Amino acid sequence: MNSLYSIEIAANLERARQSVQAAMQLTASGYFDFAAARAYYAAFYASTAALLNDGLDFGKHSGVIAAVHQRLIKTGRLDIARGKDLNWLFELRNIADYGVTVHVSQQDAELAIQAAESFLQAVQTLLS
C-alpha cells in the first residue's frame, strides 16, 4: 500500500464497506434508488482507494472512472467485468439521483449491491 496515502486509502475502503452496508439496509427498507446510489459510491470509494495507491487523486467522478479503466482494467490489474460493473453502477446512480419519473427496481438495487461487493473485493485483493 502506498504509505503516502495509507490513511486516505484505508478511509476510502471503510467508506466503501459502509456504503455497501447502507445499500443493503436501504434495499431492505424499500429505498431502491438510494440503495443503488450507495452501491455506486461503494465502488467509487474503492476506486479512489486503488488510484490513491498509485499516487493518483481525482476531483471528478468521470476522472476516477476513466483512470480505473486506463490504469486498472486495460492493464489487467482488475478484471474487465469490474470495469463493466463500475460503468453500470454509475449509470444506475444517475437514474437513482436524477431520474424524476424513472426509478431503480428492487432487482437492480440487489444486483447493484452484488456488483459493488465484487468491485470492493477485487480492489481489496489488488491492494493486499
pLDDT tens, residue by residue, 8-28? 999 999 999 999 999 999 999
On the question of pLDDT at 4 being above 90, the answer is: no
CATH number for the domain harbouring residue 106: 1.20.120.330
The residue among 76, 92, 82, 96 whose CA lies nearest residue 33 is: 96
Higher local confidence (pLDDT), 100 or 69: 69
**Alpha carbon distance 49, 41 (integer Å):** 12
**Alpha carbon distance 77, 98 (integer Å):** 32
State the pTM of this model. Answer: 0.95
Domain with 28 in it: 3-127
- Convert the pLDDT of each residue in 26-55 to its tens digit: 999 999 999 999 999 999 999 999 999 999
pLDDT at 2: 60
* CA separation, residue 77 to residues 37, 43, 45, 50, 117 (Å): 25, 16, 17, 10, 17
